[in-house]
Structure 1
Amino acid sequence: MALVGCSSDGQLTATGITVTRSACPAVAIPAATGDITLFNPENSRDASAIDVVAHITNVRSTCDETGENIITTVNFEIRGQRRDAAGAREVVLPYFAAVVQGGTAVLTKSISRVGLRFEDGQTRASTTGTATGQVARAAVTLPDEVRRQITRERKPGDADAAVDPLADPTVRDAVRKASFEVLVGFQLTDAQLSYNATR
């Protein structure tokens, strides 16, 4: 019973594990969109035709929860490599930022571009990108009844002591609707996406 006192995020208590749900969206790179490969000639997929390869890395985010809208700012690095080091060259790469609700519903999507500049004689280059997403605070707030059902103290011997609250479809759906992600990745053509998915 000594565990019943104060608890912090992830701490074991007498009634289970205490987890604090953040209002800030999760930030991620969707599968197969974190890399881009440019070919020359463009319609070739031979390894010898690979012109430029770039990938997104070092993704970091900050979240402002002070207003009616929760604003997430995402910063990341783009690193690239080219086959031919001759001459200075800038390669412009498109990337997207999307706010997704419940893992499937795209609420907003924006497309930006960033220049990756290779100096003469250099095969590698890097640059940085940024993106933002915002979600209404009301949308990430669970209804009171659902919150009570999730956080209700359950004691050993109770009929539903071992039942996960998320097993209730109503609770599960409410949590899903109140869950958001900000996704960033390269804006790929169908051919580029197919190449990433199958290589």
Structure 2
Amino acid sequence: MKKFLFVATGLAFVLGGCSKQGDLDLSSGVGVNVVRSGCPIVGVPEGLGDITIFRAGGAQNFSDLDVVANITEVRGSCNDSGAKIFSQVDFDVQARRYDTRAAREVSLPYFSVVTQGGSAVVAKRVGEVTLRFAAGQERASTRASATAYVDAAAANLPEDIRRRITRPRKAGDADAALDPLAQPDVRAAIARATFEHFVGFQLTEDQLRYNVTR
């Protein structure tokens, strides 16, 4: 599951860390400017935003489906004004059930994880989100949120790395054409200072295998 979780860290997420005036500009002088903030990137790891539950004792066939649900409308907010950066991820859970005869409550486990540099887990929590179906109701939805803290010192680039990235370069300088972001030690420092705040369903091995192979 860890291997599958971190496949997503190299992907581009629609939602990113918060940014504000004064944040470090990681542009190399040409192209698109990228503003870097200490706030974590937020998102849902690939394959962990859906959960499928089958009826007890049934096979993994369409006729045995019980409940399917997905995480959507992921929204990140952040406060990086203190020594600890506060990150909050708000999201919706939408579900459908296949037996609508009686009223029912369904609780689904989800995780909130903070990773550093795309691989190291620095914090994880597991919670539950509950959906309530009225009798005859096929679909239900609810909102949930997850919070976490990140050490601000760890999320900020060392001053020498900042200077190397932002130092003005003039035509004719020996290193004028060199992109500092392409240098291994600079890239490594940026990776160490980059945090991600992910949410997803806490799947069993069978549920994860189903998501991968369906």
Instruction: Name the TM-score, length of structure 1 as normaliser.
Output: 0.89
Give the direction of change, closer, same or farther, for the CA distance of 1:14–1:61 in structure 2 (3 Å limit): closer
Q: In structure 2, what is the Cα distance between the partners aligned to 1:14 and 1:166?
A: 8
8 Å contact 1:15–1:155 — kept in the other structure? no
1:137-176 equivalences under 5 Å are 137-176=152-191
SS at match of 1:90: strand
Superimposed CA distance per residue, residues 111-154 of structure 1 (whole angstroms, 9 cap, x where no aligned partner): 00011111100100001111011101100111111111111112
- Equivalent-residue separation in structure 2 for 1:19 and 1:81 (angstroms): 39
RMSD: 2.1
Is 2:49 the partner of 1:68?
no
Give the number of aligned pairs: 191
- Matched letter for residue 105 of structure 1: A
Secondary structure class of the residue paired with 2:107: strand
Structure 2: stretches of 5+ with no match in the other structure: 1-20
Q: Distance in 2 between matches of 1:19 and 1:115?
A: 38
Greater share of strand: 1
| Whole-angstrom distance in 1 between the partners of 2:98 and 2:92 | 20
Counterpart CA distance in 2 for 1:133 and 1:69 is: 10
* 1:113 partner letter: E
Does residue 40 of the first structure (1) align with residue 60 of the second (2)? no
Q: How big is each residue's C-alpha offset from its partner over 1:47-91, in whole Å with a ceiling of 9 and x where there is no partner?
A: 111110000001112111121100011111000001111000011
Unaligned 5+ segments in structure 1 are 1-6
Specify the SS of the correspondent of 1:122: coil
Contact conserved, 1:97 with 1:109, CA < 8 A, in 2? Answer: yes
Shift of 1:157: 3.1
The CA distance in 2 between the partners of 1:191 and 1:168, in whole Å, is 42
TM-aligned CA distance change 1:35 to 1:42, over 3 Å: farther
Q: How many angstroms apart in 1 are the aligned matches of 2:58 and 2:178?
A: 55
Partner AA of 2:191 in structure 1: R
Gap change, CA 1:126 and 1:20, over 3 Å in 2: same
**TM-score by structure 2 length?**
0.83
Structure with max Cα Rg: 1
Please state how far the C-alpha of 1:173 moved relative to its aligned partner: 0.8
Which aligned runs of 4 or more in structure 1 are off by greater than 4 angstroms? none
1:106 corresponds to 2:101: no
Residue aligning to 1:179: 194
- Superposed, 1:8-47 pairs within 5 Å as 15-16=29-30, 18-42=33-57, 44-47=59-62
Identity of aligned residues (%): 51
